[in-house]
Amino acid sequence: MKLLTIAMAKGRVADEAIQLIERTGLYFPDYHNESRKLLFTDDRKHIKLIFVKAVDVPTYVEKGAADIGLVGKDVLMEDPKEVYELMDLGIGKCKLSVAGFVGAEITESSYLSVASKYPNVAKAYFEEMNIRTDIIKLNGSVELAPLIGMADVIVDIVETGTTLKENGLTVLADIVDISVKLIVNKASYAIKTDEIQQFMKHLYAGLEVRI
């Protein structure tokens, strides 16, 4: 059996993903969610897990540094890569939404300044709606932008809605549903077809048990 390298980001999604992977019978004895280690191997040496920044997961997979990546659809939409997207893991569910102050007007005649970690998605969304924008790329704390007058609206991930609520903002429009996808390096899929298909089959079985 050829070793599969899987890239993902640390955090809540990783905990859920690892639970799912361990349901396939694999076990990572060293893994715990507070560990600072970045590389884990299961006890039977079938899977090597590497932890990278979420936005870098598709790059590791495209370049073949990882065979498989587990990453949010938001990341894939913002910066598409040459990889196969083969499975929805149904975890990390949230929405990519436009948010702002209650009653903020978004009309074709408006010229909006938009703060976002997702400038490409935001630009495409407003272009589609014939709304002219000035897109401001931020790397976090995006909800702050309308509060200090830097942007009219934001385009960001909304999961529980708590961050918006605590900052006096609301969802103005939903753009797309997001969840974690399984992506695969194209060459790996040709070379390690059996291992990858077997791994996905086990993941599907784990997902069904969970449902």
Instruction: State the residues that interact with ligand PRP by CB under 6 A.
Output: 140-143, 156-163
Least Å from the CB of residue 47 to ligand PRP: 26
One DSSP character per residue, 26-73 reads ---TT--TT---SEEE-TTSSEEEEE--GGGHHHHHHTTS-SEEEEEH
| Smaller CB separation from ligand PRP, 82 or 159 | 159
Least Å from the CB of residue 96 to ligand PRP: 10
Name the phi and psi angles at 62, rounded to 5. -60, -40
Least Å from the CB of residue 56 to ligand PRP: 15
| Smaller CB separation from ligand PRP, 67 or 74 | 74
Give just the sign of the alpha carbon dihedral 171, 174, 179, 185. negative
Closest residue by Cα to residue 2 from 183, 187, 180, 182: 187
Name the phi and psi angles at 68, rounded to 5. -130, 150
| Smaller CB separation from ligand PRP, 109 or 162 | 162
| Smaller CB separation from ligand PRP, 18 or 54 | 54
| Smaller CB separation from ligand PRP, 25 or 90 | 90
Q: Helix count (H) and strand count (E) of the chain?
A: 8, 11
Least Å from the CB of residue 44 to ligand PRP: 33
Query: CA–CA separation, 196 vs 41, rounded Å?
Result: 16
Closest residue by Cα to residue 92 from 156, 164, 11, 171: 11
Least Å from the CB of residue 126 to ligand PRP: 19
Least Å from the CB of residue 66 to ligand PRP: 22
37 close to 30: Cβ distance less than 8 angstroms: yes
188 close to 175: Cβ distance less than 8 angstroms: no
| Smaller CB separation from ligand PRP, 103 or 140 | 140
